[in-house]
Structure 1
Amino acid sequence: MAKIRSGRVGEQIKKELSQLIQMELKDPRIGFLTVTGVEVTNDLSLARVYLSVLGDAEAKENSLKALDKANGFLRSELGKRMRLRHVPELNFKIDESIAYGSRIEKLLHDIHDGKDNDHA
């Protein structure tokens, strides 16, 4: 039962945070980012927010710093929008799975192109 609730809360946090970051935050350090996932603990005390940031390592670091600075604002806005008794603490992390997936896809494509050249 707790797993189902934490999953629903996580999805709602993901949706609300995406809107908040896109519409409400005006920090120029925040680059183009996407909230890719939210994992909430069973007791709803901590939420790990996974982000995909477009740009180099410096852009990712700057975006993380800006979001950490805006953590209090984001939590208070989540509390207003979601009507939770206790809003989970937000912990932002960079999601490297998209970059990893595209790297694997490129390697597979290169291997496939190598086989085509061998047959020609």
Structure 2
Amino acid sequence: MATSRRVSRVAELIKREVSQMLVNGIKDDRVGTGMVSVTDVDVSGDLQHAKIFVSIYGTEEAKAETMAGLRSATGYVRSELGARVRLRRTPEVIFIEDNSIERGTKVLTLLNQLRQERTNTPEEDEEFVSE
């Protein structure tokens, strides 16, 4: 079992290398349909599995196509990681779509709408009080 410090270092290294692969390495056209960025990497304690969370900007169709391209490129990504990162065993790679940025944007939009409603409401209340 690796130490938590080593696991976090390996996760950061995998994140950096996969991000570079998304820019230069993966030749699948489906990956280029949506703007893709690696948001997080979760590596298991024994360094055997790596969940790579990706954020994809675009339509639902582009997101599905991009995820299909990423899933088909897992073998390439794993072999490239094996060449770039010096580990005894290269971890199994799983791509997972990360929707947290979209959820955060929705929450911020709702909060802004509530703020707008609250700033508009006191003026209306004052009109009712003064009559």
Q: Which amino acid aligns with 1:27?
A: D
Task: Give the corresponding residue for 1:41.
Answer: 44
- In the aligned structure 2, how far is the partner of 1:24 from the partner of 1:67? 12
Q: CA deviation at 1:119?
A: 2.2
Task: Give the corresponding residue for 1:23.
Answer: 24
Task: Give the corresponding residue for 2:13.
Answer: 12
- In the aligned structure 1, how far is the partner of 2:61 from the partner of 2:87? 35
4+ residue runs of structure 1 moved beyond 4 angstroms? none
**Which of the residues 98, 101, 104 maps onto 1:98?**
101
What TM-score does the superposition give when structure 1 sets the normalisation length? 0.95
Task: Give the corresponding residue for 1:110.
Answer: 113
Task: Give the corresponding residue for 2:73.
Answer: 70
Q: CA deviation at 1:92?
A: 0.6
Could you list the per-position Cα deviations for residues 47-75 of structure 1 after superposition, in whole angstroms to 9, with x for gaps in the alignment?
Answer: 01000000122211111111111111111
Mark the runs of 5 or more structure 1 residues left unpaired by the alignment: none
- Percent identical pairs in the alignment equals 39
What TM-score does the superposition give when structure 2 sets the normalisation length? 0.87
> Which shifted more, 81-90 or 34-43?
81-90
Q: CA deviation at 1:24?
A: 1.1
Q: Which amino acid aligns with 1:73?
A: Y
- In the aligned structure 2, how far is the partner of 1:109 from the partner of 1:48? 33
The Cα RMSD (Å) is 1.0
Q: Which amino acid aligns with 1:106?
A: T
Q: Please identify the structure whose Cα radius of gyration is greater.
A: 2
Q: Which amino acid aligns with 1:42?
A: G
Mark the runs of 5 or more structure 2 residues left unpaired by the alignment: 124-131
Equivalent residues, number: 120
